[in-house]
Amino acid sequence: MSNKIRLLIADDHVIVRSGIRLLLEAEPDMKIVGEALDGNEALEKVKLLRPDIVLMDIAMPGTDGLEATRQIKSRWPEVQVLVLTMHRSDEYFFEMIKAGASGYILKGAETNDLKSAIRMIASGGVFLYPSMVQKLMKGYLEALSGFHNSTSQLSTREKEVLKLLAEGYDNQEIAELLVISPSTVHTHRSNLMNKLGFTKRHELVKYAREKELH
């Protein structure tokens, strides 16, 4: 049939790429236009081939699937990305969705799920593997319940570190003021971001200032 869904497979394992190619080339509405063994090659192939969908692994050498997805969506927003990975963790899932992926499916999924995901994304939809939908709903409900808006879950020392961050002190200065090591400050800062749901330092500082902790 004409107007086949043009696919690029990005995965650093030859056996995985070969298996996906064998599976999908049997479909009358799909065509594998290229393969890439890492994120850098994926970017080169997207530029050259302009596929409809990239089947993107996350953990690859060099430029990983997360960074490759960010760059693809920035440079070629019309190209869709379907994450095909072994990773079930919340961190990878939310980061890939934030990067612009249109779907997330596990390598252990049924073959029909992969085919359905490709067709759904090609038609303008999104596809999330059922267990991933649960993670998305959990994150959404946490946001609704004010996950970002409470310091009640913080320890006394974490509140002290947060207050000093709001006042503009860096890790070394906070360490000197609280008589602790810079690495301990870094650990407290990481815990703060995890507990309050932030991924960037400036988001944490902005939150502290909005809470008038300075």
Could you read off the pLDDT of 123-133 as tens digits, one per residue? 999 998 776 66
- In a domain, residue 151? The reply is no
160 φ, ψ to 5°?
-65, -45
- Is residue 160 located within the same domain as residue 127? no
- Is residue 91 located within the same domain as residue 127? yes
Write the pLDDT tens digit of every residue in 7-52.
999 999 999 999 999 999 999 999 999 999 999 999 999 999 999 9
- In a domain, residue 66? The reply is yes
- Is residue 84 located within the same domain as residue 187? no
Do 6 and 33 touch, CB atoms closer than 8 A?
yes
- Is residue 132 located within the same domain as residue 195? no
- Is residue 54 located within the same domain as residue 106? yes
User: In terms of C-beta distances under 8 Å and separation of at least 24 residues, what long-range contacts does 161-170 make, across chains too?
Assistant: 161/185, 161/188, 161/189, 161/192, 162/192, 162/204, 162/208, 162/213, 163/208, 163/213, 163/214, 165/189, 165/201, 165/204, 165/205, 165/208, 166/205, 166/208, 166/209, 166/211, 166/213, 166/214, 167/214, 168/214
Top pLDDT among 151 and 81 is at 81
- Is residue 201 located within the same domain as residue 121? no
CA distance 214 to 210: 9
- Is residue 57 located within the same domain as residue 92? yes
Domain containing residue 186 = 156-210
- Is residue 75 located within the same domain as residue 133? yes
Q: What is the CATH number of the domain that holds 39?
A: 3.40.50.2300
Cβ atoms within 10 Å, residue 23: 14
Domains in the chain: how many in total?
2
Q: What is the CATH number of the domain that holds 196?
A: 1.10.10.10
Question: Which of 146, 10, 1, 136 has the alpha carbon at shortest distance from 67?
Answer: 10
- Is residue 106 located within the same domain as residue 12? yes
Percent of the chain with pLDDT over 70: 86
- In a domain, residue 148? The reply is no
Q: Which of 110, 141, 172 is the last residue of a domain?
A: 141
Do 32 and 77 touch, CB atoms closer than 8 A?
no
- Is residue 30 located within the same domain as residue 72? yes
- In a domain, residue 115? The reply is yes
Top pLDDT among 202 and 139 is at 202
Q: Is residue 212 very low, low, confident or very high in pLDDT (cuts 50, 70, 90)? A: low
- Is residue 11 located within the same domain as residue 68? yes
Please determine, for residue 202, whether its predicted confidence score (pLDDT) is greater than 60.
Answer: yes
CA 49 to chain centre: 24
- In a domain, residue 93? The reply is yes
